Amino acid sequence: MKRVKILAIAPYKGMAETLSVLTKGREDIDVTIRTGNLQEGLNIAQSLTVYNNYDVIISRGGTAELIRKELDMLVIDAPLSVYDILRSIKMSENYAGKCAIAGFHGITDNARILCDLLKLDIDIFTFKSQNEVLPILLKLKSASYSLIICDLIGSLTAQSIGLNSIFIPSGTESINAAINEAIALVHSNRQTCRQKELFKTALISGQESVLIFTENRQLWFSTLTDNPTDKQIMDMAQSFLPSFAGNSEQIFECPLNGFIYRITMHPLSYDDEIYILVKILKIPSLFQEYDKTISIYNDCENKEISSEQIIENNSANFVGNIHTLIERYAPSASPVLIMGESGTGKAKAATLLYRNGPYHRRPFYVIDCSLLTERKWNSLLSNENSPFHDINTTIHIKNIGKLSNTELSKLYTYIEDTGMIKRNRLIFSLITPDPNAGDIKNYMLNKLSCLLLPTEPLRERLEDLSSIATLYINQMNALLGKQIIGFDADAFHLIKNYHWPDNLDQFRRVLKELAVLTSTSYISEYNVRMVLKQEESTESSLKIPRYSLPLDLSQPLNKITYDIIQTVMAEENMNKERTARRLGISRSTLWRILKNN
């Protein structure tokens, strides 16, 4: 017959030693013995039952009660027998001071029976909960009791307040009876245990690992083992539990040791109780773990986050017209094309579309086209583990302008042939200016019916500048421990009149420098002027020297004019207002020439 697997949690060392002696040499049981009282004992039981399939747990008193409450397993309480209590009472007869018996019902009920039968005049006090132990013992001390006959928690508490105590240990008879009761109980439930083992074996033989957690996120069942990799997988799964909303399926993905682990969580109801079913599928990774070509993000906004993280999550995309567009576009599954200069918040806009979109309960893939090689691109299109083959997923194809014409053609063909837009939510981002921007934009809008989300350069968001500055200063205060309120009036005038070629990225960096330099409540004009002068100096040193293009004078005048405008715009960092002013033409004329060409 199969041995009964017993986990024994002894609240004190003496019980552990007795268990060791009684179980040594028995061939019908396998026993693991650990020592821990109350919460410590529960923690030991929880950690050991994760990876070991014990049939039953043996403990004592409050520790047994706590384990029974928290773990859905057979728990045998090694009860105190009348002999155990009688031995302690007889021992107390040699003590000259005032004596009482105090403990939970398991002790005091038997003590009352003994005292009635033996006509012993000993006061008895019952703890109804662990919180009553200290108040009752303090009351007994004030009533001149100097010796308490009690269990372990009573004895420890008595010692802490200067009361003597006689601890009632479990005798050999009680512990042996508990062992035999555990064996008999397991044998009587052998059919149920056997079914459980068969089901677990069937689950282990499948491709997916399976975990089941209770509603309060305590592990109830696991097919994982205690090897290092499985422990990492367990930790990973448990880290996502706080983000599980609990009312529908939710999927998370995480790279580990060269694989992607897809963690799918479902709510499960049984016998009027709610459980969380977790399935973990191991998928070969498309690229190496530290390759940033594909990044995977999960929506963990339900996790508890710090106030610093909340402040950090404030975004310039929550300000102005772009906020309105993101709010309107996000609930739709329609594809989106985000266009704008470098540093205008395209990645953040894509993240906001995902978090507020229809597939936020599934992973968010970001594919950086600037890091793609031909081999990687072919893998994305053909490998069965590619996110392109997924369904109901949000995919951000970042820096699409970095793809060659051949790669763009392959992408367009794949999207149309596989119905990718119908299966997933696609977000494209394009940095402008780009020589292929016009063609990409036309295809996206006209062929793929993308929604257009332009991210305006900072110089064209002057009405938003004050609000964005307020958000960034708030971030810097939290980051640097400052108490900055804002700008002096003349200082902010300089901020508004600067052209900000690197947009939000540069703006945030400059505000950080200003925050470091500022020791008062307001950022001064002097500091702003100094930092912006440094920015202009750096910009000038990095700017490509002016050069004269060999103009093709054989082409029509409008083409020659267009070439001149393009050259000047490049020198002015694509600032149309300064280009028009330098050429001595109006902005409307400049726009008309660019549009016509």
Q: Domain boundaries in the chain? A: 4-79+173-191, 98-168, 206-284, 294-456, 460-542, 557-596
Name the 3-class secondary structure at 419: coil
Provide the CB-side half-sphere exposure for 246 (13 A, CA).
Answer: 12
Q: Please list the pLDDT of the chain residue by residue as tens digits (597 residues).
A: 678 999 999 998 999 999 999 999 888 899 999 999 888 999 999 888 877 778 899 998 888 988 998 887 899 998 888 888 898 998 888 888 899 999 888 788 889 999 999 888 899 999 988 889 999 999 999 999 999 999 888 888 998 999 999 998 888 988 999 999 999 888 887 766 666 667 766 666 678 889 989 888 888 888 888 888 988 999 999 989 988 877 889 999 999 888 999 999 999 888 788 899 999 999 998 887 778 889 999 987 444 444 444 344 555 666 778 888 999 999 999 999 999 999 999 999 999 999 999 999 999 999 999 888 888 888 999 999 999 999 999 999 999 998 888 889 999 999 999 999 999 999 999 999 888 888 999 999 999 999 999 999 999 988 889 989 998 898 898 888 889 999 998 999 999 999 999 999 999 999 999 999 999 999 999 999 999 999 888 876 655 544 445 667 778 888 888 888 888 888 777 878 778 867 878 878 888 888 887
Angle CA(116)–CA(121)–CA(123) in degrees, nearest 5? Answer: 100
Q: Give the pair of three-digit tokens for residue 529.
A: 């002027």
Interhelix angle 405-418/374-382, nearest 10 degrees: 0
Q: Which of 263, 261, 255 is nearest to 288 (CA)?
A: 255
Rg (CA), the chain: 36
Please check whether the domain covering 557-596 is classified as CATH 1.10.3470: no
Q: Which of 418, 417, 421 is nearest to 449 (CA)?
A: 421
Q: Is the dihedral of CA 128, 132, 138, 139 positive or negative?
A: negative
Q: Which of 107, 78, 73, 71 is nearest to 16 (CA)?
A: 78
Contact (Cβ atoms closer than 8 angstroms) between residue 410 and residue 377: yes
Q: What is the pLDDT of residue 410?
A: 92
Residue 340 forms beta bridges with which residues? 431, 455
Domains 206-284 and 557-596 share a fold: no
Q: Is the dihedral of CA 310, 316, 320, 322 positive or negative?
A: negative
Contact (Cβ atoms closer than 8 angstroms) between residue 37 and residue 154: no
293-328 pLDDT, tens per residue?
899 999 874 444 444 443 445 556 667 788 889 999
Q: What is the CATH number of domain 206-284?
A: 3.30.450.20
Dist. CA 521–CA 487, nearest whole Å: 8
Q: Which of 87, 63, 346, 96 is nearest to 178 (CA)?
A: 63
- DSSP H or E stretch at residue 122: none
Residue 260 forms beta bridges with which residues? 255, 283
Contact (Cβ atoms closer than 8 angstroms) between residue 211 and residue 236: no
Name the 3-class secondary structure at 268: strand
Q: What is the pLDDT of residue 278?
A: 94
Dist. CA 401–CA 109, nearest whole Å: 81
Give domain 98-168's CATH number out of 3.20.20.140, 3.30.465.10, 3.20.20.10, 3.40.50.10660. 3.40.50.10660
Q: What is the pLDDT of residue 62?
A: 80
Q: Structurally, what CATH architecture does the domain formed by 4-79+173-191 represent?
A: 3-Layer(aba) Sandwich (3.40)
Which DSSP state fits 544? Answer: P
3-state secondary structure 504-515: HHHHHHHHHHHH
Name the 3-class secondary structure at 58: strand
Name the 3-class secondary structure at 424: coil
Fold designation for 294-456:
Rossmann fold (3.40.50)
Give domain 460-542's CATH number out of 1.10.10.370, 1.10.8.60, 1.10.645.10, 1.10.357.10. 1.10.8.60
454-487 pLDDT, tens per residue?
999 999 988 889 989 998 898 898 888 889 999 9
Q: What is the pLDDT of residue 141?
A: 93
DSSP string, 67-98: HHHHS-S-EEE-PPPHHHHHHHHHHHTT--S-
Dist. CA 294–CA 366, nearest whole Å: 6
Q: What is the pLDDT of residue 226?
A: 80
Q: What is the pLDDT of residue 314?
A: 52
**Strands (DSSP E) found in 384-519:** 394-398, 425-431, 451-455, 486-487
Q: Give the pair of three-digit tokens for residue 199.
A: 């089901």
Dist. CA 383–CA 394, nearest whole Å: 18
- DSSP H or E stretch at residue 368: strand 364-368
Q: How many CB atoms lie within 10 A of CB 350?
A: 25
Q: What is the pLDDT of residue 316?
A: 66
Q: What is the pLDDT of residue 310?
A: 38
Q: How far is CA 476 from CA 106, 518, 591, in A?
A: 60, 11, 38
Q: What are phi and psi of 39, to 5 degrees?
A: -60, -40
Which DSSP state fits 3? Answer: P
Q: Which of 408, 465, 467 is nearest to 435 (CA)?
A: 408
